[in-house]
A and B are shown apart, each in its own frame.
Chain A
Amino acid sequence: MLKMAKIGKVYRTGLVETAALEDLTLEVARGDFVSLMGPSGSGKTTFLNIAGLLDTYDRGRYLLDGVDVAGLNDDQQSRLRNERIGFIFQSFNLIPDLDVYDNVEVPLRYRRLPMGERRDRVEEVLVQMGLTARMRHLPSQLSGGQQQRVAIARALVGQPQLLLADEPTGNLDTIASRQVLDLLEKINAERQTTIVIVTHDPTLAARARRKLHVLDGRLIDPQAAREHAAS
């Protein structure tokens, strides 16, 4: 599903260069459930940005579902992002002016689906998320857990093959966190959706089928990660 080979990314600020990713090589199979852990500044977010086609890389090769993304223009990347990737953000990133229904509908709008199909898909996913009663509520009228469920509904409505989640439980209490994790596991199991979660939280990471660690822009083995954490 996702294949990165020797991906490198350097951020330049004036004369200062910061290597965010250094020869990162990673393969995630279709239907896999992967967690990526690492301290702040280790390159987790950069990895997720590149994986989600929100940022570019300086070197290496990235194939998304067999497509080399380097050769795609902005329009093609946007289409690929819309059709194959779903995002779940730590801070939910719902659009404050739009109600639950309209928020969930946004990805389908960019896919230019007919109104009837959009409605059916949105209603279906809202039923799955238990949000039908909140359909016309604005995000500000929902709890944190409900907002994250809306964000998950929005990520799933386009039936993406890859779900990228950044600290999906970072702003939630314990009960809501558990519900979100249960939901992600269910999605992975039932829909065979590939999930990549970036997190600090070992409990959350432990729920993934594959646990990866990143440090200074490189993947490291679990033993090295434990030693780094101990130090």
Chain B
Amino acid sequence: MTTLLYNLRLVGKSLRRDPWFTVVMVLSQALSVSIFVTALTTAQRYTNTGEVPGDVFRVEGQRDNTLMRFYGGSQFEIFGEFTANYVTVPMVHTLAATGLATASTVNFVAVMVGGPADRAPDRLPARFCDADMFQLLNVDFRYGGPFTRADERAAPPAPVVVLSDLLNEKLYGGADSVGRTLRIAGRDFRVVGVMRRRTGRMSLLDYGVPPESMANVVIPFAFADQLRPVPWISWPPAPAGAGWRAIADSASGVTEYWVRLPSEEARTRFAAALSAVGPQWKLHSAQEIARRFSKPPPPYRVFVILTLVVMEVSVINLMRMLLAKATSRAAEIGIHRALGAGRNVIFSRQLLEGVLVSMVGSGLGVVLAVPTVSMFDRLIPDMPIRLAVTPTVVGIALLICLLAGLVSGIYPAWRIASVPPTRYLGKV
């Protein structure tokens, strides 16, 4: 400990001797780290959904459908998936009749016209689903709570809605909007809850939803036909005012069906019922679906790799600067050698200097990453989920930077420790 403190003191003095050089070393490291953290943060936005229940499944059909062929390989793919996970009305009725699922929801996103009752109507993305969706997909609430089965099954159904926090931010500036009234397609709905989103991360709900529709209102499925929703995407285009039945019956309607099947027996029997509907239908667990999003989309992976290359250049740069600095202090190192410092002492001191510069630069880089991420976020105006530097990203970045510090420090430390002391002293 005493040796470490002494080495730290000497390293500190060494770094203070040429403060501008030290500043340049730290800043060059900080800049590359901030870019790396930005890339990592951006990539992380498209990964994972956190806790996914093990007994929740989605019904999926074949993946080679019209939408897949039309949008496959396009930029839209990075925002989600185009699976043939649509279901038809008779199919839902058939599956519901088995009584095997303890909870289920049909779920699709459409575009409506509406907004706060006291304002002019605007484009309003809407998600139609059953009340079970909130528990099936572990939805957490910022204000209020979900609408219930009772709301849906009342006659007539209760006109209640839940807002995504993005829509709540957009319409009410993030304030508690529970009790406010939204007018959708000419009908008034009372807001009963605002969903909470994990900062900087997409949720399972968001996959397959285009960025401009992520700020949406969640409406009980009981209104799916009454409100005549228009699908956000369909090919060929669905006629305006066609309603959900038309969407579900089209070749490209994106309608999901989620179920909770707690027992193995229920799963087996449900899968059998599904096969009876059509051989292409399969059950896919929510965990498996979440795993499909465990990696960021290719453009963001490339971005992360590019920033790693920048980091590598920065490591080489830091290595050269540390070597130059050590060489400029060669006489002093020679004196220490003459007074009894072995090669290992000089090596560890030099390495400490490299790691210290790297870690200070990395810390500063993480701090700089906050405004950099924010600036980068503004460059992608269509992306509603705000980027945020998470502890995971900071942890990964600091670990990589510690390794970078060791790598950049080892070579100069080895070089300077290997040279005989007479080379430094010139003359004893």
Of residues 1 through 59 on chain B, the ones whose CB sits less than 8 Å from some CB of chain A are 2-3, 6, 13-14, 16-17
Other A-B pairs, 7, CB within 8 Å; known A48-B428, A74-B342: A78-B343, A81-B339, A90-B427, A95-B336, A96-B332, A110-B345, A166-B428
- Rounded to whole Å, the gap between the CB of A90 and the closest CB of chain B is 7
- Chain A residues with CB below 8 A from B14, complex form: 97
Whether B344 contacts A93 by the Cβ 8 Å rule is no
Chain B residue nearest to A51 (CB atoms) is B428
Q: Is A54 an interface residue (CB 8 A)?
A: yes
Whether B339 contacts A87 by the Cβ 8 Å rule is yes
Q: Is B127 an interface residue (CB 8 A)?
A: no
- Chain B residues with CB below 8 A from A93, complex form: 331, 334-335, 338, 425
Chain B residue nearest to A157 (CB atoms) is B339
- Rounded to whole Å, the gap between the CB of B423 and the closest CB of chain A is 9
Of residues 165 through 202 on chain A, the ones whose CB sits less than 8 Å from some CB of chain B are 166
Assembly CA distance A158 to B338 (angstroms): 13
List, sorted by A's number, 7 A–B pairs whose CB atoms are closer than 8 Å.
A75-B342, A81-B339, A89-B428, A97-B17, A110-B341, A164-B428, A166-B427
Cβ-closest 7 pairs across A and B: A82-B340, A110-B340, A78-B342, A97-B13, A107-B339, A75-B342, A55-B422
- Rounded to whole Å, the gap between the CB of B355 and the closest CB of chain A is 20
Whether B337 contacts A107 by the Cβ 8 Å rule is no
Q: Is B420 an interface residue (CB 8 A)?
A: yes
For the A-B complex, the count of residue pairs with Cβ-Cβ distances under 8 Å equals: 80
Assembly CA distance A54 to B428 (angstroms): 9
- Rounded to whole Å, the gap between the CB of B337 and the closest CB of chain A is 7
Of residues 34 through 52 on chain A, the ones whose CB sits less than 8 Å from some CB of chain B are 45, 48-49, 52
- Chain A residues with CB below 8 A from B427, complex form: 45, 89-91, 166
Q: Is B253 an interface residue (CB 8 A)?
A: no
Q: Is B409 an interface residue (CB 8 A)?
A: no
Whether A112 contacts B3 by the Cβ 8 Å rule is yes
Q: Is B421 an interface residue (CB 8 A)?
A: yes
- Chain A residues with CB below 8 A from B336, complex form: 95, 106, 110
Q: Is A109 an interface residue (CB 8 A)?
A: yes
Max count, chain A CB within 10 A of own CB: residue among B16, B334, B341, B345: B341
Assembly CA distance A83 to B342 (angstroms): 13
Assembly CA distance A110 to B345 (angstroms): 9
A110-148 near B? 1/0 per residue, CB < 8 Å: 111001000000000000000000000000000000000
Assembly CA distance A91 to B338 (angstroms): 14
- Chain A residues with CB below 8 A from B6, complex form: 109
- Chain B residues with CB below 8 A from A96, complex form: 332
